[in-house]
């Protein structure tokens, strides 16, 4: 027995119970349930939409939208379900909808002046639109219906373009470690990640995307002065400071391909790097785009400049190179989100001046928009400044903190 048929049986049971309850006198119902008898509220508004499946089962609820041959339908018991056209025998709505055929380029927000709008009925793989003024509209084959949405969604998500300060989503992370002992030590870390995708809904092809990221970590260890066996040892201080800031603008030329422009700034005190700045442009492609995971690859040509701390003449340099990067996001059960970013930056005018970075973050939700964040950040700089003791080429951080996520309304 299919799930829909079980639902139909459950609805029959509910109707039977309601019928029996209606036969109980008011006084008896007061005695049974310990309260005053009140008439059941009547349903307001139009009758619900309904689907008749190819096996004869029927499901009532509210039509949400249709995108690319898949209908999303909201049932009070089943919640939101997605059904392909091939499994639908009939569909009838009381909801007024707009039908956009495949000639509509919704990705650019360009739509014809006249769009069929009204209640719809589907039978024999044909869509009948019944407008409020009863104007005759030719039948539309379901295979030609690219989008079927309500008027509010049409205006808000398909036609409109949010202002620069709208449609931003992101997160903020903060963590700290403080130690007071023989040595005094403290470390503060934080991160901000912002993303703005237009349109703001995932079921429409994106037109553009803007991202801004910042991560930082600062720490200091202080050793107080002391005397041991008549020898005076002065106070010492050592610090660590690692900062990374980046911004990127993607402009889509297809549902998955896009041109991009990006810039990034890096400072790493432990590697003697005062500032590495990069400006580049290139192309990207979304290799995997699924509800639970997404994988992007990018390649750029760029100009970069490296400035080192206390560097002698000839150490700082200008570089012509590229960035080859990959970004992977995986949505795990129970709201966990894993994010991985890997990049490799070769330099063509100095083959020894290459670098690479990797970051892995796991967000574990615990209350509403708050979550725990645990992750690592690894950076490799192949050409650090010679020093005593020698500067390590690799810098590794393990970060644990609290994250607050926010979404645009």
CA distance linking residue 393 with residue 372, whole number of Å: 30
Cβ-contact 105, 253 below 8 angstroms: no
Q: How many domains does the chain have?
A: 2
Average pLDDT (117-136) is 89
Higher pLDDT, 162 or 322: 322
What is the rounded distance in angstroms from the CA atom of residue 70 to the CA atom of residue 152?
Answer: 20
Q: What is the CATH number of the domain that holds 262?
A: 2.40.160.40
On whether both 56 and 80 belong to a single domain, the answer is yes
3-state secondary structure (DSSP) of residue 398? strand
**What is the reported pLDDT for 287?**
95
336 backbone dihedrals φ, ψ, rounded to 5°: -70, 140
Residues 147 and 176 grouped into a single domain? no
Domain match, 215 and 320 both: yes
Beta bridge partners of 219: 187, 240
With contact defined as beta carbons under 8 Å apart, do 51 and 58 qualify? yes
Q: How far apart are CA 120 and CA 392, in angstroms?
A: 67
- How crowded is residue 43: how many other Cβ atoms within 10 Å of its Cβ? 8
- Looking at the fold, whether 319 and 339 belong to one and the same domain comes out as yes
* Residues 206, 252 contacting (CB under 8 angstroms): yes
What pLDDT does 5 receive?
Answer: 45
In this model, does residue 2 exceed pLDDT 50?
Answer: no
Q: How far is CA 327 from CA 30, 35, 190, 245, in A?
A: 62, 60, 20, 16
pLDDT for the residue 1: 41
For residue 24, is it within any domain? Answer: no
Domain span holding position 241: 168-406
pTM (whole model) above 0.85? no
The DSSP output letter for 290 is -
Alpha-carbon distance values, 136 to 118, 140, 249 (Å) = 11, 12, 45
Domain end call among 159, 191, 221: 159
- pLDDT tier, 314 (very low <50, low <70, confident <90, very high otherwise): low
CB 130 within 8 A of CB 180: no
174 and 119 in a common domain:
no
Question: What's the burial of 381, exposed, middle or buried (CB within 10 Å: 0-12/13-18/19+)?
Answer: buried
250 lies in the same domain as 314: yes
Say yes or no: 153 and 181 in one domain. no
Q: Does residue 288 lie within any of the structural domains? A: yes
Where residue 383 falls among pLDDT bands split at 50, 70, 90?
confident
Does 33 map to a domain? no
Residue 88 covered by a domain: yes
| Same domain membership, residue 389 and residue 313 | yes
Contacts of residue 45, Cβ cutoff 8 Å, sequence gap at least 6: none
In a domain, 103, yes or no: yes
Is the confidence at residue 372, as pLDDT, over 80? yes
Dihedral sign computed on CA atoms, order 82, 86, 91, 93: positive
In a domain, 55, yes or no: yes
pLDDT attached to residue 200: 76
Please give the backbone phi and psi of residue 152, each rounded to the nearest 5 degrees, phi first. Answer: -65, -45
Regarding whether 296 and 239 lie in a shared domain, the answer is yes
- 191 & 298 share domain: yes
| Rounded CA separation 330/336 (Å) | 8
In whole angstroms, give the CA distance from residue 29 to residue 27. Answer: 5
119 shares its domain with 249? no
Encode pLDDT of 45-96 as tens digits: 555 899 999 998 999 999 998 887 889 999 888 888 889 999 999 999 998 8
Q: Please report, for residues 224, 225, 226, the alpha-carbon distance to residue 231 in angstroms, rounded to integers and kept in the order given.
A: 14, 11, 8
Instruction: Answer whether residue 370 is part of any domain.
Output: yes
Last residue of a domain, which of 109, 135, 159? 159
Beta bridge partners of 263: 247, 279
**Calpha distance 244→262 (Å, rounded):** 14
Close Cβ partners of 153 (under 8 Å, ≥ 6 residues apart): 65
Q: Phi, psi at residue 228, to the nearest 5°?
A: -130, 120
| pLDDT tens digits, one per residue of 3-37 | 344 444 444 443 443 443 444 343 333 333 333 33
- Same domain as 148, residue 231: no
| DSSP code for 107 | G
Give residue 378's Cα distance to chain centre: 23
Residues 206, 151, 83, 3: is their CA dihedral positive or negative?
Answer: positive
Q: What are the pLDDT digits (tens) for 198-248?
A: 887 776 778 899 999 999 999 888 888 878 777 887 888 888 899 999 999
Average pLDDT over residues 139-158: 81
Length of the chain, please? 409
Q: Which of the listed residues 126, 159, 192 is the one where a domain comes to its end?
A: 159
19 Cβ contact partners less than 8 Å away, ≥ 6 residues apart: none
């Amino acid at each position: 027995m299919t799930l829909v048929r079980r639902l139909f049986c459950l609805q029959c049971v509910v109707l039977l119970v309601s019928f029996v309850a209606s036969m109980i006198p008011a006084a008896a119902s007061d005695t049974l349930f310990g309260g005053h008898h009140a008439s059941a509220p009547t349903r307001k508004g139009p009758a619900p939409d309904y689907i008749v499946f190819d096996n004869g089962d029927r499901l009532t609820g509210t039509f949400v939208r249709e995108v690319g041959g898949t209908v999303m339908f909201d049932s009070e018991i089943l919640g939101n379900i997605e059904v392909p056209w091939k499994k639908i025998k009939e569909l009838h709505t009381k909801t007024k909808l707009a039908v956009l055929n495949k000639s509509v380029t919704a990705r650019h927000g360009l739509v014809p002046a006249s769009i069929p709008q009204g209640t719809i009925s589907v039978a024999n793989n044909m869509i009948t639109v019944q407008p409020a003024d009863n104007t005759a509209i030719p039948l539309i084959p379901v295979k030609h219906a690219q989008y079927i949405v309500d008027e509010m969604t049409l205006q808000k998500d398909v036609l409109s373009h949010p202002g620069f300060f709208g449609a931003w989503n992101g997160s903020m992370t903060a963590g700290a470690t403080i130690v007071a002992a023989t040595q005094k030590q403290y470390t503060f870390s934080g991160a901000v990640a912002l993303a703005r995708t237009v349109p703001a809904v995932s079921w429409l092809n994106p037109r553009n995307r803007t991202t801004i990221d910042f991560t930082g970590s600062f720490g200091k260890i202080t050793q107080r002065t002391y005397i041991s066996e008549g020898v005076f040892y002065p106070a010492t201080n050592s610090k660590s400071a690692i900062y990374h800031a980046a911004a990127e603008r993607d402009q889509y030329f297809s549902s998955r391909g896009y041109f991009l422009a990006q810039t990034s700034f890096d400072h790493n005190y432990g590697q003697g790097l005062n500032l590495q700045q990069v400006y580049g442009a290139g192309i990207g492609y979304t290799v995997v785009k699924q509800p639970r995971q997404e994988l992007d690859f990018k390649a750029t040509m760029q100009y970069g400049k490296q400035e080192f701390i206390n560097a002698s003449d000839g150490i700082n340099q200008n570089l012509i190179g590229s960035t080859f990067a990959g970004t992977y996001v995986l949505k795990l059960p129970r709201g966990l989100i894993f994010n991985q970013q890997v990049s490799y930056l070769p330099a063509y005018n100095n083959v020894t001046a290459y670098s690479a970075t990797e970051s892995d973050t796991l967000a574990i939700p615990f209350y509403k928009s708050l979550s725990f964040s645990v992750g690592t950040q690894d950076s490799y700089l192949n050409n650090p400044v010679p020093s005593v003791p020698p500067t390590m080429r690799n810098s590794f951080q393990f970060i644990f903190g609290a994250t607050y996520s926010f979404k645009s309304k």
